[in-house]
Structure 1
Amino acid sequence: MSNFRLKVFHSVASHLNFTQAAEELFITQPAVTKNIKELETELNARLFDRIKGKVYLTEAGEILLDYTKQIFELDRKLTYQLSSLSDKYSGQLRLGASTTIGQYILPAVLARFNQEYPDIHITLINDNTKKIEALLAAKEIDMGLVEGKSKNSQLKYTPFIKDEIVAIAHTSKPLSEKDEITLDELRSIPVVLREQGSGSLDVIVDKLHEHNISLRDLNIVMHLGSTEGIKSYLRYSDTLGLISINAISKELKNGEYKIIDITDFEVVRTFDFVQLHGQQQSLSDLFMDFASKTITRSNSL
Structure 2
Amino acid sequence: MQDFKYKVFYSVAKNLSFTKAAKELFITQPAVSKHIRELEKYFGLRLFDRDANKITLTPAGRTLLKHSEELLKIHRQIEFDLNLLKNQTAGNLRIGASTTIAQYVLPPLLARFHQAFPDIQLSLINDNTENIQRAVLQEHIDLGIIEGKSRKKELKYTFFLNDELVAITHYHSQLAHLQEISLQALSRYPLVLRERGSGTLEVIEDALQQEGLSLSDLQIAMYLGSTESIKSYLAHANCIGIVSISSISKDLLAGKFKLIEFKDFSLHRTFEFVRNQGDSQGLAAAFMDYARQNHNF
> Is TM (by shorter chain) over 0.5?
yes
Does the 8 Å contact 2:129/2:199 carry over to 1? Answer: yes
**Worse-matched range after superposition: 257-266 or 247-256:** 257-266
Judged with a 3 Å threshold, the aligned counterparts in structure 2 of structure 1 residues 84 and 163 are, in CA distance, closer, same or farther, namely closer
| Structure-2 residue corresponding to 1:218 | 218
Secondary structure of the equivalent of 2:108? Answer: helix
Residue number in structure 1 paired with 2:115: 115
- Whether the aligned pair in 1 keeps the contact of 2:166 and 2:267 (CA below 8 Å) is yes
1:261 aligns with 2:294: no
Residues 248, 283 of structure 1: alpha-carbon distance in 2 compared, 3 angstrom cutoff: same
Aligned twin of 2:169: 169
Shift of residue 214 of structure 1? 0.2
Q: Secondary structure at the match of 1:93?
A: strand
The one-letter amino acid of 1:150's match is S
Partner of 1:182: 182
The answer to whether the Cα contact below 8 Å between 2:84 and 2:286 also exists between their aligned partners in 1 is: no
How many corresponding residue pairs?
Answer: 215
CA distance in 2, matches of 1:238, 1:142: 41
Quick one: distance in 2 between partners of 1:288 and 1:255?
35
Structure 2 letter corresponding to 1:146: I
CA–CA distance in structure 1, aligned partners of residues 88 and 146 of structure 2: 29
Offset at residue 85 of structure 1 (A): 8.1
- AA of the residue aligned to 1:227: T
- Give the greater-gyration-radius structure (CA): 2
Residues 107 and 188 (structure 1), Cα distance of their counterparts in 2 relative to 1, 3 Å cut: same
1:158 corresponds to: 158
2:232 aligns to what?
A: 232
182-191 or 207-216: bigger deviation? 182-191
AA matched with 1:171: Y
CA contact (8 A) 2:147 2:200 kept: yes
Q: Decide whether aligned partners of structure 1 residues 135 and 180 sit closer, same or farther in structure 2, where only a CA change above 3 A counts.
A: same
Q: CA deviation at 1:182?
A: 2.4
Number of the residue aligned with 1:102: 102
Aligned to 2:31: none
Which amino acid is 1:231 matched to? K
State the shift of 1:125 in Å. 0.7
Q: Give the whole-Å Cα distance in 1 for the aligned partners of 2:279 and 2:88.
A: 21
TM-score (normalised: structure 2)? 0.70
Q: 1:84 deviation in Å? A: 5.5
Indicate the RMSD between aligned Cα atoms, in angstroms. Answer: 1.3
What secondary structure is seen at the aligned counterpart in 1 of 2:202? helix
For the 8 Å contact 2:161–2:271, the answer to whether it is kept is: yes
> What amino acid sits opposite 2:253 in the alignment?
K
Note the residue ranges of structure 2 that are not aligned, 5 or more in a row: 1-82
Q: Is the CA contact 2:90–2:119 (under 8 Å) kept in the aligned structure 1?
A: yes
Q: Which amino acid in the other structure matches residue 148 of structure 1?
A: G
Quote the Cα distance in structure 2 between the aligned partners of 1:222 and 1:137.
31
Give the letter aligned to residue 265 of structure 2. F
Work out the percentage of aligned pairs sharing the same amino acid. Answer: 49
1:1-301 alignment, distance < 5 Å = 86-87=86-87, 89-295=89-295, 298-299=296-297
Cα deviation code 1:135-166 (max 9, x no counterpart): 00001100000000111111111000000010
Tell me the TM-score normalised to structure 1 length: 0.70
Q: Which runs of 5+ in 1 are unaligned?
A: 1-82
